[in-house]
Each structure stands twice: as C-alpha cells, then as structure tokens.
C-alpha cells in the first residue's frame, strides 16, 4: 500500500474537519519533543494515530515551536531524521504531510510518497518551495507567520495580507489553487490574545475560497486562559478545534487524535439533529 494523495473533495464529504495527526521526530518540540525520536517509536505512533482515525499524518523533523528555544536544524539533519521512518509511514496508506520550511526537505519527502507540504512560512521563506510544490503537484499548507508579535496590529488584516502575498507566489510558480490550504498560524508571531482573535474571526478568512486548517493543539494561548502545562491542555485544545469547526475549518492538526475525533463526531451529530436534511 502507498500513501494516498490529498483529496479535498473526499475530506469535504466527511461533514466535519479532517483530523491531521502530529508526529514530531524531534528532540525539542514544545509538547512531545524526544518521545518519538527513534524510528520504531515514530512508526508505531503513526500507526497508532491511523488506527485512532486520523485522516492525514503530519511529520516534522525540525521544531518550529513559536515561543523560542528551538534549535535550527540543517536540511541534512532533517532528512537524516526522516529517512528511517518515512517509507514505513507512507506504507500506512494515509496522505502524509511533511512539516518543513525547506524546499530540499520537501522534495526529499515528496519523492518518497508524501502528498503535502506544511510550510510554516507560507512559501515566503525558501524561494524554491513554491517551485517544488508546483512541480510535484503536491498539496501545500500556507501558514501565516511573523518574525515577532505586534500586539497593536489587526491580526486578521495581517493574516489576509500575508495570504495574498503567498497566493501570488503560488500562482506565479504554477501551484494549482485546488492544492492550497490556508492556516492562520495559531501561536506563531501572535500574542495569546491575537491567537484567540484569529480563532474568533476565522470565518472571515473563508473569503479566499480555500480550505482552512487550524492547529490549536496544546498552544500557549490555552495556558493564558486556563493555566496548564502542554500535556494538560487537551480540553482547551478540543474547545478551540470545535470552535474552528463551527467557523468552517476543513482540517484540524492535533496531538490527541481519538479524543478530538470523538468530539468532532458528536458535534456533527448534534448539528445534523438540529438541522435535519
């Protein structure tokens, strides 16, 4: 079995956001760094999330945690971390997303069966990224980011302007709009309050006519509302993802697949009972 391609039509048919399971093969990710660094543990974790109902698997080999302290990793090191695990994860048969800001790492993963690039700099950091995506026909997650948070700005206006720039880059490179997903980048280049605003006003970003991905899992804004370390932010994460689902999110990126999926399914059932067809 090989990894499935990303099929946005199939995910729309779910009637709820697709669940993207997070797999960090890193020593320093903010929530689970080091837990899945060995190939056996990483592959087992990917299979576990697939068994819990994940529809997409997102693999990262460099921490991009937005709160500082992450060590930059050379492309060669990212590839060395991915090489022992990617073939077996691809064989699970789900669409595989590569979480990287480096075009050479994206190319390595796409050549080995990954179906999507999750770029935390939205095609605006590595000048070769859009070309690699266009040349392979992969899907791409364009995430909003900033070098630093600026509390005084209108964060939704900033996100929209960023997306417009990214979409121009994508168009000039030949990336098909049908392959693009937009991510407001909860926690990245934002104050905790701005992350809440981005979730509250998520529906405004639907004007781009593209699927929206939300990754609020265990993020710092939850701690600011209800103090808890990352591993104890499940309830807050689910609350944020349910709100995102109500606002039209197409994908949620999560650490806790089974519990999030259960919440999304119950919310969907309630919504359908309220408005039977």
- The set of catalytic residues is 219, 253
**Beta strand pairing status for 116-119 and 180-183?**
unpaired
CA angle 227–20–160, rounded 5-degree value: 75
The two structure tokens encoding residue 54: 């994940």
With CA atoms as reference, report the closest residue to 194 among 243, 237, 151.
151
How distant is the alpha carbon of residue 232 from its chain centre?
A: 20
* Residue 98 CB burial class (10 angstroms; 0-12, 13-18, ≥19): buried
């Amino acid at each position: 079995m090989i990894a499935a391609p990303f099929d946005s039509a199939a995910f729309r048919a779910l009637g709820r956001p697709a669940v993207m399971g997070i797999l960090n093969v890193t020593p320093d990710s903010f929530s689970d760094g080091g837990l899945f660094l060995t190939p056996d543990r990483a592959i087992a974790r990917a299979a576990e999330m697939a068994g819990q109902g994940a529809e997409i698997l997102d693999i990262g080999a460099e921490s991009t945690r937005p709160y500082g302290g992450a060590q930059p990793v050379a492309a060669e090191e990212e590839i060395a971390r991915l090489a022992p695990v990617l073939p077996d994860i691809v064989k699970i048969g789900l669409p595989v997303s590569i979480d990287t800001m480096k075009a050479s790492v994206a190319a390595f993963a796409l050549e080995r069966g990954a179906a999507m690039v999750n770029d935390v700099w939205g095609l605006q950091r590595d000048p070769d990224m859009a070309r690699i995506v266009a040349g392979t026909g992969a899907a791409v997650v364009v995430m909003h980011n900033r070098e630093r948070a600026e509390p005084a700005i209108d964060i939704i206006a900033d996100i929209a302007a960023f997306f417009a720039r990214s979409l121009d880059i994508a168009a000039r490179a030949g990336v098909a709009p049908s392959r693009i997903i937009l991510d407001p980048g909860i926690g990245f280049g934002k104050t905790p309050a701005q992350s809440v605003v981005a979730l509250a006003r998520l529906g405004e970003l639907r004007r781009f006519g593209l699927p929206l991905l939300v990754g609020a899992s265990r993020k710092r804004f939850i701690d600011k509302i209800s103090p808890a370390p990352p591993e104890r932010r499940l309830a807050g994460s689910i609350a944020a993802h349910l709100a995102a689902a109500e606002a039209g999110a197409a994908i949620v990126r999560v650490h806790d697949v089974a519990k999030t999926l259960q919440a999304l399914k119950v919310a969907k059932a309630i919504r359908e009972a309220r408005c039977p067809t």
